[in-house]
Amino acid sequence: MYSYLKIYSFIFLLGLVLTPLYAQQNLTTPRTSPYAQVIQTIGLTDLTVIYHRPGVNGRTIWGGLVPYGEVWRAGANENTTFETTDPVSIGGKILESGRYGVHILPAEKEWTVIFSDVDFAWGSFSYDEKEDIIRVKVKPETAAFKERLQYYFDNPTTDAVDAVLHWEKIKVRLPITLDTKTIVVQEIRNQLRSLPRFFWQGWNQAANYCLQNDVNLEEAMTWVDRSITMNRNFNNLRVKAGLLEKAGQNSEAEKLIAEGIELSTENELNAYGYQLLFGGDVGKAIEIFKLNIERNPDSWNVYDSLGEAYATKGEKKLAIEYYSKAYDMVQDETQKKRIEGVLANLKAK
């Protein structure tokens, strides 16, 4: 009997101890200002804004709920954050890669957007100006009404984008720029220290990026030479020829192109013909497509390509002739239907 009383007493006392603990546990329910994030990739760089979206709810926002002249958390709940995986320039000021707390000092005519070293604060209540990394001045614009605060990225290019805040009838945009080419070249260097370094394709792709973007050309030459040492072929010879042309060594470039053509496959020669065609050298493209027909007379695709080149040149009769040969040879129904449509359009002109 005594032992049972001890057990019951223990359970009762345990309940008394745990009851306050359970009473303190909060349920998870939807927040009034929901969580949101927006991500934009520029080149290889990821830009991320994480924030909470308060609503207008009939209130006066600017100069009211958000007072002028006081630092605001740029959202609701925890302070808004901005993260970049590479250095960027915002409003002409450099922000290194990392994650930052975002605060705003609004005014009637000009706002100050603040990027803070502290990215984990609740709102702006503990904001300290000594923790600022950069401050950027922006001018608010009148905009269509937006019930809930929204951040988004606008006007993305290969090396720039605008980060936009839109709430109530105000919009502000932050111009962000990146040195994408430099970032990509450094990433290429990093990748060439891993598995791609053991294959000719990786070195050639690295050199070709530099050629196409007119950047880091001297190092690109060493990369393509390494590729050629591993496997001499049309692709890397063509890239080296392009680099030589950039350096003004046209005769050496022509020799490499001629050598590359001798080593080329049907698909490689066809791709080179289209490069010339889209680059505006229609005459040279026609020569390459003709050569491909000589080498691969049983391929419908080479006739199709030559037909397209003649159509681009405006020689309708020859275009119809070669498209017709491709049509007679092709077995794939989708391609057959496509060529049939091309022929109909040419004959209708």
What the chain holds in terms of domains, given with CATH numbers, is 35-178 (no CATH), 179-263 (1.25.40.10), 282-349 (1.25.40.10)
What is the DSSP-derived secondary structure letter of residue 26?
P
Residue 61, Cβ neighbours under 10 Å: how many? 17
The rounded percent of the chain whose pLDDT value lies above 70 is 93
What pLDDT shows up at residue 27?
87
User: Per-residue pLDDT for 11 more than 70?
Assistant: no
- pLDDT, the chain, mean: 93
What pLDDT shows up at residue 6?
53
Q: Where are the alpha helices (DSSP H) in the chain?
A: 2-23, 180-191, 200-213, 217-230, 234-246, 250-263, 266-278, 282-295, 300-313, 316-329, 333-348
**Integer Cα distance of 38 and 70 in angstroms:** 26
Q: Give the pLDDT mean for 45-58.
A: 98
Q: What is the pLDDT of residues 240-262, one digit of tens each?
A: 999 999 999 999 999 999 999 99
The rounded percent of the chain whose pLDDT value lies above 90 is 90
**134 HSE (CA, 13 A, CB side):** 16
Return the H-helix or E-strand segment holding 104.
strand 98-105
**Integer Cα distance of 187 and 180 in angstroms:** 10
What pLDDT shows up at residue 28?
85
Q: What is the pLDDT of residues 178-231, one digit of tens each?
A: 999 999 999 999 999 999 999 999 999 999 999 999 999 999 999 999 999 999
| Residues in Cβ contact with 318 at an 8 Å cutoff, skipping those fewer than 6 apart | 307, 310
Residue for token digits 């002109």? Answer: 349
What pLDDT shows up at residue 9?
54
Q: What is the pLDDT of residues 306-320, one digit of tens each?
A: 999 999 999 999 999
3-state helix, strand, coil in the chain (%, to 5): 50, 25, 30
What pLDDT shows up at residue 2?
47
User: Per-residue pLDDT for 19 more than 60?
Assistant: no
Structure tokens at 99: 């994650």
What pLDDT shows up at residue 24?
61
What pLDDT shows up at residue 310?
96
